[in-house]
Amino acid sequence: MKVGFVQFSPSFGKIDENIEKALSLIDESAAELIVLPELFNTGYLFISEKETHKLAEEVPSGKTTKALIGIARRKKINIVAGLAEQDRGNLYNSAVLVTPHGFGGVYRKVHLFNEEKIWFKTGGEGFKVFDIGICKIGIMICFDWFFPESARLLALMGADVICHPANLVLPYCQDAMVTRCLENRVHIVTANRTGIDRRGDKMWRYTGKSQITTADARILYRAGAKKDEAGSAEIDLQSARNKRINKLNDLFADRRTEHYGQLIKG
Ligand code: ACM
């Protein structure tokens, strides 16, 4: 199965321009499953509640999800894309799934980073796995990666591939994904953005280097730090479904949950 990502530098608040850019990169790709960055349509650096409300869209009726549904239908592909979601007055840093059949679902970021805690509510529905026919996918958004529980849960829930829309500003994630994949035998597609957001007296620089990492911990593709890119690679789903390490060890069956109590205490 061919998976891919789209990497570019969204312009803050220019939703139409960002959708157009993303669609043209998606059009270049031959992947069956394509991941877009976190908040790809709005940009990342919100500085007021008013603008966050103005830019966030309802899902699936908003124009971003509709545009993605259109291209997914036309190209018969699956897309996971980060956007700001508005639902009955609540705002979420979300990722939508669209498939050749239309809207597939939404995941709301669980671990909010820094000032996201001011603008967004945390995802009350938690982690989800979606069966898209060709495989099962899980979704985590950017900073979720820092919590090993995110990828572990998604793998335990049956994900073959974790789609990871990101706006990374710290330098660790891409290397860390090798370990996340290894410890869960799951493929991860990290779609990061590039460029700089400068708003008021605030500034973030994003690290690019979107990456496809395999269940056996190989980096199949790492994008450049700065350029627009639609990268893709072939992955072997069987390697994510077989959790055996050797004749006597199985990654999941050997878990000793009776000793892990502290992990789920608040
Ligand atoms: C992040 O979660 N966007 C760093």
**CATH tag, 2-265:** 3.60.110.10
Share of the chain above pLDDT 90, in %: 97
Give the residue numbers annotated as catalytic, written as ranges: 38, 109, 142
pLDDT in tens, 59-69: 999 999 999 99
Amino acid identity of residue 229, one-letter, is E
From the number of C-beta atoms within 10 Å of its C-beta (0-12, 13-18, 19+), residue 156 rates as middle
3-class secondary-structure state, position 168 = coil
* Predicted pLDDT of residue 265: 84
Mean pLDDT, the chain, integer: 97
Q: What does DSSP say about strands 219-222 and 211-213: parallel, antiparallel, or unpaired?
A: antiparallel
pTM tops 0.95? yes
Nearest CA owner, ligand 1 atom 2: 143
* Predicted pLDDT of residue 156: 98
* Predicted pLDDT of residue 85: 98
> Cα angle at 158 between 164 and 135, to 5 degrees?
70
Give the position, in ligand 1's atom list, of the atom nearest the Cα of 168.
Answer: 4
Bridge partner list, 6: 230
Residues with CB under 6 A from ligand 1: 38, 113, 142-143, 167-169
Torsion, CA 41, CA 180, CA 187, CA 117, rounded to 10: -20
Q: List the chain domain ranges.
A: 2-265
pLDDT in tens, 152-177: 999 999 999 999 999 999 999 999 99
Nearest CA owner, ligand 1 atom 3: 167
* Predicted pLDDT of residue 264: 82
pLDDT in tens, 3-16: 999 999 999 999 99
* Cα–Cα distance, 214 to 233 (Å, whole number): 10
Do residues 252 and 243 touch, judged by C-beta distance below 8 A?
yes
Q: How many Å lie between the centroid of ligand 1 and the Cα of residue 159? A: 22
Cβ neighbours of residue 141 closer than 8 Å, sequence gap 6 or more: 38, 82, 93, 94, 95, 107, 109, 164, 165, 166
